[in-house]
Amino acid sequence: MKQLIVTGSSGLIGSEVVTYFDQRGWQVHGVDNNMRADFFGEKGDTRWNQRRLEATCGNFRHHELDIRDRSGVLRLLERIQPDLIVHAAAQPSHDLAARRPFDDFDVNAVGTLNMLEAARRFAPECVFAYLSTNKVYGDGPNFIPLTEHETRWDYADPAYADGIDEDFGVDQVKHSIFGISKVAGDVAVQEYGRYFGMKTCCLRGGCLTGPNHSGVELHGFLSYLIRCNVEEREYTIYGYKGKQVRDNIHAYDVARCIELFYEHPQPAAVFNLGGGRGNSVSILEAFDRVEQLTGKKMRYRYVDEARIGDHICYISNLSHLKASLPGWDITRTLDDIFEEIVAGWQKRLKEEVR
């Protein structure tokens, strides 16, 4: 039986990867210590997702381990020696990183180095997939000329009609503290591929989403927005008139991408991974979509100050990914995503009432 280690296994991407590979007969080892609850409080708690995985996945084993624990990570890799590592554990918030920079860097950069070095020592032939972020490009995308439409911003430069590709620069821009820790992890993953010949890839995600996301204000744009509507709570728009655009990709399509990279590995691969233009949406457009599904008017307030490093418009160019991993494409549309997240929050909130 093939062995898989998934870090951040109780989170959105981690849990989807656990389910996906469990259903395909892999032995799946999940590494998680519910650090999201420490970062975001009770609303960020992911124990519910851990319990769900333990109840529904027959080949899943949970390991209570902090990826900052270097000796613990080394022992785990020595014992399991996996065929595939999916490194999804992270501190994911711009705002929180500025308040807790040591924790942010230790989790995102040092934790990634711990995983890479343990893999090099004990499983050098394994495939290593790292969940990076489009925030490695810092605020560089904000310097692309834009056109303002009624409900969204869009690229005015036809060179970006299909979105931003992997050649976009990462230097001489403002990243946020979160951004620099993710750049460090991203470059380390590439270097272990180039220097040591390991089969690694960086997946520079747009808005990764789905019904198993514990979305909070500081992280989880679409999940949190929909939750606010379902709970009839006020949502805060930070700057850009609410017309800022994100491309959204369902966690299932991320898991499928990882499977295909496992089947067609290469050293130091870098892919922009998002929903592309077809799955792009602005905040104002998201309000309209969720209102149509729930029948509830969106309550919100506007703050005329954008978050540091926040993108005005970000759409992933998926051309390189599709060319490198034949057969991969988006399977969950924006409509599918909204419907699943609405249903997911409605179900979870009913369970909380009970």
pLDDT surpassing 70 at residue 76: yes
CATH of the domain at 300: 3.40.50.720
Cα dist from 311 to 30, 139, 226, 240, whole Å: 32, 6, 20, 10
H-helix or E-strand spanning residue 286: helix 283-294
pLDDT surpassing 80 at residue 213: no
Residue-number span of the structural domain to which 39 is assigned: 3-353
- In this prediction, residue 95 carries a pLDDT of 84
* Residue 216: band (very low, low, confident or very high) from pLDDT cuts 50, 70, 90: low
Average pLDDT, the chain: 95
The conformation of residue 135, written as its DSSP 8-state character, comes to: G
pLDDT surpassing 80 at residue 187: yes
More confident residue, 307 or 63: 63
Cα dist from 118 to 26, 56, 83, 108, 194, whole Å: 21, 29, 13, 16, 17
| CA separation for the pair 75, 88 (Å, rounded) | 19
Instruction: Give the model confidence (pLDDT) of 22-33 as tens digits.
Output: 999 999 999 999
pLDDT surpassing 90 at residue 217: no
Mean pLDDT, range 184-202, rounded to an integer: 98
86: CB partners within 8 A, 6+ apart: 4, 5, 6, 7, 13, 14, 17, 129, 131, 258
Alpha-carbon radius of gyration of the chain: 19
Write out the DSSP string of 54-103: HHH-TTEEEEE--TT-HHHHHHHHHHH--SEEEE------HHHHHH-HHH
262: CB partners within 8 A, 6+ apart: 83, 84, 127, 129
300: CB partners within 8 A, 6+ apart: 228, 234, 235, 236, 237, 242, 287
pLDDT surpassing 60 at residue 188: yes
pLDDT surpassing 80 at residue 354: no
| C-alpha count within 13 angstroms, C-beta hemisphere, residue 187 | 11
pTM: 0.94
Instruction: Give the model confidence (pLDDT) of 97-145 as tens digits.
Output: 999 999 999 999 999 999 999 999 999 999 999 999 999 999 999 999 9
Of 41-45, 96-100, 129-133, 258-262, the poorest mean pLDDT is in: 41-45
- Nearest Cα to Cα of residue 220 among 206, 209, 231: 209
- In this prediction, residue 100 carries a pLDDT of 95
**What 3-state DSSP class applies to 105?**
helix
205 within 8 A of 273, measured Cβ to Cβ: yes
| CA separation for the pair 267, 150 (Å, rounded) | 44
- Nearest Cα to Cα of residue 135 among 281, 320, 330, 272: 272
Of 88-102, 107-121, 173-187, the poorest mean pLDDT is in: 88-102
**What 3-state DSSP class applies to 272?**
strand
Mean pLDDT, range 337-351, rounded to an integer: 89
Domain tally for the chain? 1
pLDDT surpassing 70 at residue 349: yes
244: CB partners within 8 A, 6+ apart: 153, 282, 283, 306, 310, 311, 312, 313
Mean pLDDT, range 3-30, rounded to an integer: 97
| CA separation for the pair 280, 243 (Å, rounded) | 12
- Nearest Cα to Cα of residue 190 among 270, 78, 96: 270
**Token pair for 275:** 């929903």
* Residue 328: band (very low, low, confident or very high) from pLDDT cuts 50, 70, 90: very high
* Residue 4: band (very low, low, confident or very high) from pLDDT cuts 50, 70, 90: very high
More confident residue, 70 or 41: 70
Of 26-35, 132-141, 208-217, 283-292, the poorest mean pLDDT is in: 208-217
* Residue 202: band (very low, low, confident or very high) from pLDDT cuts 50, 70, 90: very high
* Residue 41: band (very low, low, confident or very high) from pLDDT cuts 50, 70, 90: confident
Mean pLDDT, range 247-270, rounded to an integer: 97
Instruction: Give the model confidence (pLDDT) of 221-231 as tens digits.
Output: 899 999 999 99
